[in-house]
């Protein structure tokens, strides 16, 4: 774990992803392949990341790694149990093989520097293909001068032209090795030993055969002495150690242990793992998500979504709480109204007075329930289930977290005052400010016509509110990696049919952290590479009346546990219901059911998720096309229970106001804004692979997919059908056999608007 002698400076986003520890890369020209290492010198994040944010990030990592371990051990492998250490990094497992990630064992770094070393250390002669290998990067330069001594034609006639191999041997456990004739074997006593000689003549020199044919499966090794050839087979040491007894007993297969050749240029050689969190100034609101704040969380969810209270307080308790809030006068007034009602009801002709007093009493009690009593009323049965089921969701898909984050976002970006430079924190696109209004508006009323045209487009799209948001503060972080697959299980049907192999999630190797005191002992911690940025975004919220109409038109299942419950509350209840969590359609950490055809029944929540998600991708694509920013430079956040989403620009480069500039440059009196006009055009949801894409669910790279690093679900739960009809999501299972297509949201919006216009005539 010592510090590498090589170091390079790159942008923060590059170091946290493309050059994160464990990745493979080449410098310009591709002359030397290298492996990235953690850098001890990266400074700790000081500004922009509070202690609450660090706890939040540590909690998300704990949650993700725990889910990864559970999924990796649930694969189809009846031969033997899966050891936990082959699923996740051994350093995060406790003595009970449970994931235990502590914030004190993490170092939150600013990713400015990356260490690196040459890798792989295997070479071949460009003339004869002779294999040579260095023992370590430190001895590479000296050993390369001695390679020619092994030349079959003699040292003096050696071409001395060595090429670094352009592939590595990788394993789903995260192990990676330089290609070599060396094989690992297991002795009877369980010890591991290498075999490097030819089994026919014990020659130690080999030639590479089949390199350059275009297929790594054709690569073989040939003995220099006897010309005997053999397959390139290398075993992963850690997997061999863990499964050795099972291998001896016939319960494990060699295919579970053998490594496979992968080009170091392929993405399968290294998948970085991380997440992103919105950063808020009000930490108390985000602390509602802590387990100890369940009662406070229940009160807020009642306030936001209209959940009924679970039980009434006694009059004595109500009076006590009002007295504590210095509102005892309101209680005395209510008591007087109640006493007067009995007399009024006994009098003829006092019906209006009775109704007025009853309305005052109802409003007063509702106000108390939402304010003074909110934290003291128990949650309803449905709300209690919503809160208790949170642990079943990954952080980015937790609907309760979405609700809390949306409330924090609205408070800090929509309702808050201006920034220090005087600009508003967010601007409605139909009420532009001086920084977003189009240039060239001279005639009186021009801006009003722009706003009117924009409002018409928003209504056509079924969007109740759209805003340009400034100062979207986000922390994107990476902390580990996998090889061969980005998911917890991988299949190798030709080598291990019927068996799922566990992919091991590895934490970034530890870095040395100096002691706070001069005489203290330095500690080793896993780095968490954090990129904190503040950029512009676009926020949109759909009209709940139109979304509910779309749900009804598609016959989507959305039960209502209490009369008058809001759409958001009903979505929360369905997403977290025991029935849904145990069936296809649950938002599980890796969305397994949503990759299989016809798996999920007609549930409203995943379809509403797909609707919002697809629309968010549309916004990203049109923003990218009109602003000049690459799609990969955007990211998204969904607030499903509130029918809202946010797309924003990622990165730490200077914010040139591209989204504001786009809106200003693309505005006109006739169409309001070209961005909205494109969103609403008939061509917006067409696809170059139209019929094929529609048949497969209406989502492909030709239409609504974006780079996976920008997508919150890696391009799952997407379908153009949710917006425009013509097909259905790939994973959807309709219960009504004759039906093959779903009703698009835009079609529902058009019908509702047409009906409303007809009723006004």
HEC secondary structure over 623-681: HHHHHCCCHHHEEEEEEHHHCEEEEEECCCCCCCCHHHHHHHHCEECCCEEHHHHHHHC
pLDDT under 70: residue ranges of the chain = 1-5, 309-313, 374-381, 516-520, 652-657, 735-739
The residue to which tokens 């540590």 are assigned: 58
Question: Contact 678/627 with Cβ under 8 angstroms?
Answer: no
pLDDT at position 91 is: 95
pLDDT at position 1 is: 42
pLDDT at position 52 is: 84
pLDDT at position 383 is: 84
pLDDT at position 3 is: 43
Cis status, amide bond into 120, omega within 30 of 0: yes
pTM score, two decimals?
Answer: 0.83
pLDDT at position 651 is: 73
Query: Computed over its alpha carbons, how large is the radius of gyration of the chain?
Result: 31
pLDDT at position 2 is: 45
Tell me the pLDDT tens digit for each residue of 239-289: 999 999 999 999 999 999 999 999 998 989 999 999 999 998 887 888 888
Tell me the pLDDT tens digit for each residue of 114-166: 999 999 999 999 999 999 999 999 999 999 999 999 999 999 999 999 999 99
pLDDT at position 376 is: 67
CA geometry: angle 515, 521, 524, nearest 5 deg: 75
pLDDT at position 532 is: 92
Tell whether the torsion through CA atoms of 80, 84, 88 and 89 is positive or negative.
negative
pLDDT at position 380 is: 66
pLDDT at position 452 is: 94
Query: Mapping DSSP to helix (H, G, I), strand (E, B) and coil, where does residue 387 land?
Result: helix
């Amino acid at each position: 774990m010592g510090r590498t002698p090589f170091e390079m400076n790159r942008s923060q986003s590059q170091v946290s992803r493309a050059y994160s520890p464990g990745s493979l890369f080449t410098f310009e020209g591709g002359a030397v392949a290298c492996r990235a290492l953690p850098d001890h010198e990266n400074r700790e994040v000081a500004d922009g990341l509070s202690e609450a944010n660090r706890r939040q990030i540590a909690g998300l990592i704990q949650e993700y790694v725990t889910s990864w371990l559970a999924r990796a051990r649930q694969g189809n492998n009846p031969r033997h149990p899966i050891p936990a250490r082959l699923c996740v990094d051994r350093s995060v497992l406790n003595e009970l093989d449970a994931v235990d990630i502590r914030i004190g064992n993490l170092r939150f770094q600013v990713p400015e520097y990356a260490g690196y070393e040459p890798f792989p250390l295997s070479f071949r002669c460009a003339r004869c293909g002779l294999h040579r290998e260095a023992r370590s990067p430190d001895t590479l330069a000296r050993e390369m001068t001695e390679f020619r001594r092994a030349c079959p034609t003699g040292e003096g006639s050696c071409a001395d032209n060595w090429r670094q191999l352009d592939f590595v041997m990788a394993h789903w456990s995260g192990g990676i090795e330089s290609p070599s004739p060396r094989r690992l074997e297991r002795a009877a006593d369980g010890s591991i030993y290498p075999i490097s000689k030819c089994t026919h003549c014990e020659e130690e020199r080999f030639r590479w055969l089949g390199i350059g044919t275009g297929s790594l499966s054709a690569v073989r090794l040939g003995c220099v002495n006897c010309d005997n050839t053999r397959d390139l087979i290398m075993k992963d040491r850690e997997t061999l150690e863990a499964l050795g007894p099972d291998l001896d007993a016939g319960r494990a297969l060699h295919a579970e242990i053998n490594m496979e050749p992968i080009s170091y240029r392929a993405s399968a050689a290294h998948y970085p793992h991380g997440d992103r969190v919105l950063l808020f100034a009000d930490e108390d609101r985000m602390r509602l998500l802590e387990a100890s704040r369940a009662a406070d969380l229940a009160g807020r969810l009642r306030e936001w979504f209209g959940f009924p209270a679970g039980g009434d307080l006694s009059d004595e308790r109500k009076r006590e709480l009002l007295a504590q809030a210095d509102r005892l006068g309101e209680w005395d007034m209510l008591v007087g109204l109640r006493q007067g009602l009995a007399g009024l009801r006994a009098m003829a002709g006092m019906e209006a007075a009775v109704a007025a007093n009853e309305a005052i009493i109802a409003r007063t009690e509702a106000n108390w329930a939402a304010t003074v009593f909110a934290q003291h009323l128990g949650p309803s049965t449905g709300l209690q289930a919503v809160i208790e089921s949170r642990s079943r969701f990954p952080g980015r898909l937790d609907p309760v977290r979405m609700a809390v984050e949306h409330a924090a976002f609205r408070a800090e970006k929509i309702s808050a005052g201006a920034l220090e430079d005087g600009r508003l924190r967010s601007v409605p696109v139909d009420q532009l400010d001086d920084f977003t209004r189009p240039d060239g508006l001279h005639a009186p009323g021009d801006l009003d016509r722009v706003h009117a045209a924009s409002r018409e487009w928003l209504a056509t799209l079924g969007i109740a509110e759209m805003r340009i948001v400034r100062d979207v503060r986000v922390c994107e972080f990476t902390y580990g990696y996998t090889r061969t697959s980005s998911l917890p299980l991988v299949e190798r049907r030709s080598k291990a049919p019927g068996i799922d192999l566990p992919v091991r999630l590895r934490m970034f190797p530890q870095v040395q952290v100096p002691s706070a005191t001069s005489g203290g002992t330095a500690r080793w911690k896993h780095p968490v590479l954090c990129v904190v940025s503040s950029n512009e975004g676009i926020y949109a919220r759909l009209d709940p009346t139109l979304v509910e109409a779309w749900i009804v038109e598609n016959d989507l299942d959305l039960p209502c546990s209490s009369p008058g419950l809001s759409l958001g509350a009903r979505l929360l209840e369905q997403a977290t219901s025991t029935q849904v969590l145990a069936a296809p359609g649950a938002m599980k950490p890796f969305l397994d059911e949503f990759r299989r055809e016809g798996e999920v029944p007609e549930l409203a929540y995943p379809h509403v998720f797909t609707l919002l998600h697809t629309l968010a991708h549309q916004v990203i694509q049109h923003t990218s096309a009109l602003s000049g920013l690459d799609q990969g430079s955007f990211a998204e956040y969904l607030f499903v229970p509130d029918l809202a989403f946010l797309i924003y620009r990622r990165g730490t480069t200077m914010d040139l106001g591209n989204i504001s500039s786009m809106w200003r440059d693309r505005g006109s009196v006739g169409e309001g804004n070209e961005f909205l006009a494109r969103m609403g055009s008939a061509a917006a949801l067409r696809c170059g692979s139209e019929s094929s894409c529609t048949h497969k669910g209406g989502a492909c790279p030709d239409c609504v997919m974006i780079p996976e690093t920008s997508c919150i679900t890696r391009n799952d739960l997407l379908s153009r059908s949710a917006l425009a009809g013509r097909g259905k999501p790939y994973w959807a299972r309709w219960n009504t056999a004759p039906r093959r297509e779903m009703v698009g949201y835009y079609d529902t919006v058009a019908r509702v608007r047409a009906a409303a216009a007809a009723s006004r005539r």
